[in-house]
């Protein structure tokens, strides 16, 4: 075959390929509809414990102030979910202000902004920035969490394990609570 014949054959194949793909694409578009999303508000109280192990700066500071490595946590969980109308994961944005150390006669504030996913079976994971207020200033860290939310007749009971880390040390927290769904779109 000559070069011109090969080129013409190639052009015909490309042309028929586009026709076939366009026809298949039109069929696929007519069978599937876009997923619609709603939103839910699952804010509520949170409580738990944080353990500060090791010899990092935070653990040393706590020891110097006669504060043990195990701290109580009390706060509120503000959660906003993007929920698909079909079965699938929820996309979560949450803010969690907590106060620790009340049993030692002190208040250690922290704030976490989390971004995560919760699957239909309640398994969830996420991560985000954390800010801890100390006497020497503000300490930032990365929070990574996993957990499960149990649903009992519209009441969500989340149970989470979180690790918060930075070069000055790390903290391990066990946090739980409850929330009664406040729907926006359902």
Query: Cα(147)–Cα(114) distance, rounded to whole angstroms?
Result: 13
Verify that 93 and 175 share a domain, yes or no. Answer: yes
111-117 average pLDDT score: 96
15, burial (CB in 10 Å: exposed 0-12, middle 13-18, buried 19+): exposed
Verify that 4 and 50 share a domain, yes or no. Answer: no
Verify that 8 and 99 share a domain, yes or no. Answer: no
* Cβ atoms of residues 43 and 158 within 8 Å: no
Q: Please state the domain count of the chain.
A: 2
Q: Is 87 helix (H, G, I), strand (E, B) or coil?
A: coil
Verify that 165 and 81 share a domain, yes or no. Answer: yes
Mean pLDDT over each residue of the chain, to the nearest integer:
83
Verify that 25 and 99 share a domain, yes or no. Answer: no
The contacts of residue 58 (CB under 8 Å, 6+ apart) are 52, 132, 134, 139, 168, 169, 171
Verify that 12 and 91 share a domain, yes or no. Answer: no
**pLDDT by residue (tens digit) across 81-101?**
888 777 789 899 999 999 999
Verify that 121 and 164 share a domain, yes or no. Answer: yes
**pLDDT computed for residue 107 by the predictor:** 94
Verify that 102 and 166 share a domain, yes or no. Answer: yes
The contacts of residue 52 (CB under 8 Å, 6+ apart) are 58, 59, 62, 69, 71, 169, 170, 171
Higher pLDDT, 25 or 132: 132
**Domain with 46 in it: what CATH number?**
2.40.160
Verify that 112 and 61 share a domain, yes or no. Answer: yes
Query: Cα(102)–Cα(72) distance, rounded to whole angstroms?
Result: 7
Query: Cα(170)–Cα(111) distance, rounded to whole angstroms?
Result: 15
Q: Structural domain of residue 8, as residue ranges?
A: 1-32
Verify that 4 and 95 share a domain, yes or no. Answer: no
For residue 13, pLDDT over 50 is answered with yes
For residue 24, pLDDT over 60 is answered with no
Local confidence band at 23 (pLDDT 50, 70, 90 cut-offs):
very low
Local confidence band at 27 (pLDDT 50, 70, 90 cut-offs):
very low
Verify that 2 and 41 share a domain, yes or no. Answer: no
Verify that 119 and 173 share a domain, yes or no. Answer: yes
């Amino acid at each position: 075959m000559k070069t011109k014949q090969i080129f013409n054959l190639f052009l015909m194949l490309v042309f028929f390929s586009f026709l076939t793909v366009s026809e298949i694409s039109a069929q696929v578009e007519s069978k599937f509809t876009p997923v619609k999303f709603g939103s839910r508000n699952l804010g509520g109280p949170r409580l738990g414990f944080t353990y500060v192990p090791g010899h990092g700066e935070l653990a040393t500071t706590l020891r110097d102030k006669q504060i043990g490595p195990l701290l109580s946590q009390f706060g509120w969980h503000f959660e906003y979910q993007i929920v698909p109308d079909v079965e699938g994961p929820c996309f979560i944005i949450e803010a969690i202000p907590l106060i620790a150390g009340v049993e030692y006669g002190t208040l250690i504030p922290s704030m976490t902004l989390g971004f995560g996913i919760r699957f239909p079976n309640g398994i969830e994971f996420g991560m985000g920035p954390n800010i801890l207020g100390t006497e020497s200033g503000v300490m930032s860290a990365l929070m990574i969490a996993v957990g499960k939310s149990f649903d009992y007749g519209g009441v969500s009971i989340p149970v989470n394990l979180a690790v918060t880390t930075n070069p000055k040390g790390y903290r391990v927290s066990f946090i739980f609570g409850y929330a009664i769904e406040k729907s926006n779109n359902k």
